[in-house]
Amino acid sequence: MNAVQTFKLTKRFDGLVAVNGVDLEINKGELFSLLGPNGAGKTTTIRMLCCLLKPTRGTASVLGYDVVKTPFAVKKLIGVSPQDTILSERLNCWENLALIGKVHGLSYDEVARRSKELLETMGLMERSKDQVRKFSGGMKRRLSIAMALVSDPQVLFLDEPTLGLDPQARRTIWEYIAALKGKKTILLTTHYMEEADFLSDRIGIIDEGRVVALGTSQELKTNLFEMRSMVVTAENITAEVIADLQSKYSRLEMAKGRLKIYHKDLDFKGIVDYLHSRGVTVHSAALEQPTLEDVFIQITGKKLRD
Amino acid sequence: MKFWEIGKRNLKEIYRNPVLLGFLLGMPLAFMLVFCAAAGGGQASPIAMSIVDEDHSQTSSAFIQNLGGIEAIELNEPIYSEKSQAQEDLEDGRISLYLFIPSGFEEATQAQQAINLELAYKEADPMIGLQLKPIIEAVGSEFLGVVPPLNVELKGTESKIKNMAVNFYFPGIAIFGLMILVSTAAEIIAGDREKGFLARMFTTPARPWDFILGYSLPFIPVLIISTLIYLGVGMALGLTVVGNLGHAFLIFFLIGLCSIGIGMIVGSLVKSESQAGVSWLFIVPIAMISGAWFSVERMPSAIKSVAGALPFIHAIDASRAVLNGSSFSAIILDIYWIVGWAVVLFAVGIVLFRRTMVS
């Protein structure tokens, strides 16, 4: 039995199709990321799986329980950290954790034990008695994840867990999530490709409500991204040179003396020689591994942050 | 006891928010101070009232003596023996109001039959008559309860009402004050919905009634404290409690529950805190037609019917009656009506809340 399974899951809002026939199978203990730009349908998918939205069509189940027919059973098994950091602002960490834990039916002792563990793990123990409205964005996000974990759920939904955080805070959250790998089934949504790349066992790329690619990070890069790329930093690149390169290669990106060339059979030496022959001063040149962003552009024709 | 956990959270959110707490508890204090001060505090002038005594009996004289013993009433001399004379003086503006005691008053008293007294007042100033009506009814009830009538003496019960205006205004003002719980309760739910906190809680295994009870619970201490403030300030500024204070408290408590129940319904229907302000669109009109500030006696019958169907007018009438000395049995139907409304409102709140948990 899969931890999470959807079949032709669809949600329409007044004619707008937010999620369009999504089929997912997430294994127990797997960390699965839904990667896509804003408005791709990631949060709507999670909201249906958390029993907050009724699907227009299709089915979804969590550990075998249908999200529409048996929502109460589903809610007992899941923990959710929503996209916006939603906490009870005038409560402290202990009180926020106790609220969720006790509503899940945990005893006072269980809540206290779990809260202590989580506050220590998340590095919040020092400020645990302060009202959370005084916390930074990163601290709130860590508490939000702790709240999702306090009931010891079997399936964890993390909706954009690092949205709006600075790189350091983001890295800290990644470490906490990485530590949960294998212990919980996690469905994470993100529009940060590095996040999906760093954390996920498997990734589903979602765009305009459809899952357009599915696999491990490596599979996506090798199977779907046929082109190779090289980056050249150089001076004296003329418009004529750029036009010439554009006519010869599949894709070309140029910004502040940095030239990125994409092509299926990239001739590294040939390109460097050509640039030298046209009077371009080449400072460096290197072949690059494709990124998930490259995969996304290849599949959808647009950038993740568009 | 999931509702208890949700309730504890909401209580903490309220008492740790000084602005909200100040509004909830400071408002009743300010409200009652202003209205009782406006109603004359403890030093209001007595109302001059004329009497038409067509019965000319010992009983009617004793009754008139009783009325004369009330500080709030100043009896005009002489006592009219014919109604037409008093009516003429009223129409000519020589007197403000008169009480008509019909012939047969003594006989009816002895037979312990219902007696209809007529209180006539100037059209331009209906408030005087309306303020006096419950006082005279209270005196009459007390008087008619004594058999035989010759034994009637001034008992001083009626004279306990020192300021009729405060006694008249107090229930309406207090109940209007409690109606503010409608908007506050609705705003708290709507605010949590707007911030997404409710959505987060909806992912937990809590049932709709856990939320309704959990969001109502913190308002119970607020309701109790508000009612105590109303009664305390009211009594300090001239409210006279002739009847049972506990019964009055019960009425205020029950109507407070109705207000919270309406707040739950509004909170279930609106999407944002600002939308919850829509509750004022019906709080003020309902207070108006329920007699919070003036009597409903002269309102069109259609409006009176609407008001009568709602719980607030029952609470205002019942609390006025209790404060002026009526027994619990006299207001029991009003109590049933208010309790019925409270049950219905909470049930509807739970049904609506269930619908909002999945969109």
Tell me the pLDDT tens digit for each residue of A236-287: 888 888 898 888 888 888 888 888 888 877 888 888 888 889 888 889 988 8
Residue of chain A whose alpha carbon sits nearest to that of B8: A99
How far is A63 from A78, CA to CA, in rounded Å? Answer: 10
Tell whether the model's pLDDT for residue B267 goes beyond 60.
yes
Top-ranked range on mean pLDDT: pick from A283-292, B34-43, B85-94? A283-292
Instruction: Tell whether omega for the bond before A55 is within 30 degrees of 0, i.e. cis.
Output: no
In this prediction, residue B147 carries a pLDDT of 41
Indicate if the pLDDT at residue B148 is higher than 50. Answer: no
Q: Is the pLDDT of residue B153 over 60?
A: no
Contact between residue A250 and residue A297 where contact means Cβ atoms under 8 Å apart: no
Reduced to 3 states, what is the DSSP secondary structure of residue A206?
strand
Band of residue B317 on the pLDDT scale cut at 50, 70, 90: confident
Q: Is the dihedral of CA A115, A121, A126, A128 positive or negative?
A: negative
- Which pLDDT score is estimated for B335? 94
SS3 of residue B17 by DSSP: coil
Tokens representing residue B238 in the block: 């001239």
The torsion defined by the Cα of B1, A75, A196 and A225, in degrees rounded to 10, comes to: -170
Judged by CB atoms closer than 8 Å, whether chains meet at A98 and B199 is answered as no
B127, pLDDT greater than 80: no
Mean pLDDT, chain B, rounded, equals 80
| Average pLDDT score over residue span B245-262 | 93
Q: Which of A41-45, A160-164, B148-152 is least confident?
A: B148-152
ipTM value > 0.90: no
Q: Who's near B34: CB < 8 A, 6+ residues apart?
A: none
* Higher per-residue confidence, B31 vs A210: A210
Q: For residue B145, which amino acid is it?
A: G
CB A55 within 8 A of CB A33: no
Predicted TM-score (pTM) above 0.80: no
Residues A35/A190, Cβ–Cβ less than 8 Å: yes
CA B91, chain centre distance (Å): 32
User: Can you tell me the distance from the alpha carbon of B191 to that of B210, in angstroms, rounded to the nearest whole number?
Assistant: 18
Does B11 contact chain A (CB < 8 Å)?
no
| Residue B78: band (very low, low, confident or very high) from pLDDT cuts 50, 70, 90 | confident
pLDDT above 60 (res B212): yes
Provide the number of CB pairs (under 8 Å) joining chain A to chain B. 71
For the record, the structure tokens of B227 come out as 């009612």
Q: How far apart are CA B26 and CA B35, in angstroms?
A: 14
Dihedral class, residue A214 (left if φ above 0, else alpha if ψ from -120 to 50, else beta): beta
- Predicted confidence at residue B44, as pLDDT, reads 55
Within 8 A of A50 by CB-CB distance, chain B residues are 203
Residue A80 CB-half CA count within 13 A: 30
| A151-186 core/surface letters (b: 16 or more CB in 10 A; e: else) | bebbbbbbbbbbbebeeebbebbbebbeebeeebbb
CB contact under 8 A, B203 and A76: no
CA angle A185, A186, A189 (to 5 degrees): 160
What percent of chain B clears pLDDT 90, i.e. is strictly above it? 18
Which one of B15, B17, B202, B203 makes the best mutation probe of the A interface by having the most chain A beta carbons within 10 Å?
B203
| A24-28, A290-294, B351-355: the lowest-pLDDT one | A290-294
Residue-level pLDDT at A19: 93
- How far is the C-alpha of A204 from the C-alpha of A215, rounded, in Å? 7
Q: Among B67-81, B246-260, B323-337, whose mean pLDDT is lowest? A: B67-81
Say what the pLDDT of residue B149 is. 33
Which of A52, A86, A91 is facing B9, going by the closest CB pair? A91
Work out the average pLDDT over A171-188. 89
| Interchain CB distance below 8 Å, B201 and A103 | yes
Per the CB < 8 A criterion, the answer to whether A209 and A19 are in contact is yes
Round to whole Å and give the CA distance between A152 and A185. Answer: 11
- Are A95 and B205 within 8 A, CB to CB? no
**Which one has a higher pLDDT value, B102 or B187?**
B187
pLDDT value, residue A7: 95
Predicted local confidence at residue A72, as pLDDT:
92
Model confidence at B202, pLDDT cuts 50, 70, 90, reads very high
A130/A263: higher pLDDT: A130
- Could you tell me the end-to-end alpha-carbon distance of chain B, in angstroms, rounded to an integer? 26
> Could you give the residue ranges of the DSSP H alpha helices within A150-190?
167-180
Is a pLDDT exceeding 90 seen at residue B87?
A: no
Q: What DSSP letter does each residue of A25-44 carry, written as one string?
A: EE-TT-EEEEE--TTSSHHH
pLDDT at A225 (0 to 100): 64
In this prediction, residue B159 has a pLDDT band, given cuts at 50, 70 and 90, of very low
Is A86 in contact with B17 (Cβ distance < 8 A)?
Answer: no
Residue B98 to residue B76: CA distance in whole angstroms: 9
- Burial string for B127-143 (b: 16+ CB within 10 Å, else e) reads ebbbbbbbbbbbbbbbb
Check residue A55 and give its pLDDT.
Answer: 94
Residue with tokens 């409710």: B198
Q: Do B358 and A72 touch (CB under 8 A)?
A: no
Distance between CA atoms of residues B40 and B273, nearest Å: 38
> Which of A95, A104, A131 lies nearest to residue B205, judging by beta carbons?
A104
Among A38-42, B65-69, B331-335, name the most confident range. B331-335
Q: Does the CA dihedral B306-B309-B315-B317 come out positive or negative?
A: positive
Q: In this predicted model, what pLDDT tens digit does every residue of A62-99 receive, in sequence order? A: 999 999 999 999 999 999 998 887 898 899 999 999 99
Average pLDDT estimate for A212-236: 82
